[in-house]
């Protein structure tokens, strides 16, 4: 689709497809006959059933995962909200392209196709403490980039990000959606000291005050960034194509929360890959009703936590689809 207005995006939420109920039921029946005690694989069993429902097969495979990393720059960095300069965004994109980042190693390890999209790095968003981050046209351009980045032949999608200053944007987004104090949502990001953290929280509060919003798309446009908008678009595209998604950390979950605010069912195809060390991430996951697969103290971004969770999901699917049933194995089921 070529989105020309934000209302065209809003219309997508009214026609989201359901999961494959027949595949889920058949997968549940198969799971009950596998050579193990009921529930012995714990949450791995539910992950396999969730994946089967969205993949559309009772005995699914996971061979073509895609990891998409979006990069964008934020005007609010002029307020000193990050321990790193904005130039680092472009430098890290070069590192991704050269294969030297953590996400490159994880994509290789788990057999995922990695694509990287730098979104107008030479044109940061406007400073959200002064007004909206993006115009309607700039928002739609970023949204289309995220929507088009999804390979619809993939059987799973992970979205990651790189953007100095984007924890400030995400904190403001969550305060706008869910209320509370700025300090409830503001974390240290790349490693701020106490004084800088207090100043960052004040910027977050100011951004929410000067940017009134009416729905999740407004929150994305006024308080997000190009990479955050693109992440939300990619997750929504995957939903519209019934492609399962593993969510990454705080930034990714904030983007997804804007979709959830538009329609809770918009995230039915998604699981949370991990609980990050960014303090507000757990609050966001509670709001969108997602229980993280892993909790490893990660806070890198790039889609890295979700990529590690991909290994757990692949293990879950391998057990579900590859194990013999009691009848196949000639084992008594009691």
Residues involved in catalysis: 302
Residue 173 · residue 76 · CB < 8 Å: no
What residue has token string 């788990």?
110
Distances (CA, A) of 97 to 101, 104, 134, 155: 9, 9, 27, 23
The partner residues of 253 in beta bridges, in order of sequence, read: none
Beta strands, E only, the chain? 65-71, 113-118, 156-162, 245-247, 270-272
Q: How many CB atoms lie within 10 A of CB 267?
A: 22
Residue 106: closest CA among 296, 317, 321, 320: 296
Residue 271 · residue 306 · CB < 8 Å: no
SS3 21: helix
């Amino acid at each position: 689709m070529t989105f020309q207005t934000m209302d065209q995006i809003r219309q997508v939420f009214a026609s989201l497809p359901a999961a494959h109920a027949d595949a889920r039921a058949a997968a549940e029946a198969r799971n009950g006959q596998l050579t193990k005690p009921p529930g012995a694989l714990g949450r791995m069993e539910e992950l396999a059933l969730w994946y089967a429902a969205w993949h559309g097969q009772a005995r699914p495979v996971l061979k073509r995962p895609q990891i998409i990393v979006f990069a964008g720059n934020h005007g609010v960095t002029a307020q000193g909200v990050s321990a790193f300069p904005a130039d680092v965004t472009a430098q890290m994109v070069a590192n991704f392209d050269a294969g030297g980042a953590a996400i490159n190693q994880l994509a290789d390890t788990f057999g995922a196709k990695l694509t990287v999209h730098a979104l107008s790095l030479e044109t940061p968003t406007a400073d959200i403490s002064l007004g909206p981050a993006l115009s309607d046209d700039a928002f739609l351009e970023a949204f289309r980039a995220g929507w088009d980045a999804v390979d619809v032949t993939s059987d799973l999608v992970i979205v990651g990000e790189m953007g100095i200053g984007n924890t400030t944007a995400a904190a403001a987004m969550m305060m706008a959606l869910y209320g509370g104090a700025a300090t409830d949502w503001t974390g240290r990001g790349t490693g701020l000291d106490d004084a800088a953290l207090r100043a960052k929280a004040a910027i977050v509060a100011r951004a929410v005050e000067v940017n009134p919003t009416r729905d999740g798309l407004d929150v994305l446009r006024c308080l997000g960034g190009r990479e955050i908008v693109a992440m939300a678009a990619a997750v929504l595209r995957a939903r519209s194509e019934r492609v399962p998604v593993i969510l990454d950390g705080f930034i990714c979950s904030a983007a997804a929360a804007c979709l959830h605010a538009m329609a809770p069912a918009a995230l039915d195809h998604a699981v949370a890959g991990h609980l990050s060390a960014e303090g507000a991430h757990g609050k966001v996951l509670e709001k969108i009703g997602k229980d993280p697969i892993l909790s490893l103290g990660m806070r890198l971004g790039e889609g890295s936590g979700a990529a590690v969770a991909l290994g757990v999901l692949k293990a879950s699917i391998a057990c579900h689809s590859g194990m013999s049933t009691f009848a196949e194995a000639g084992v008594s089921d009691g």
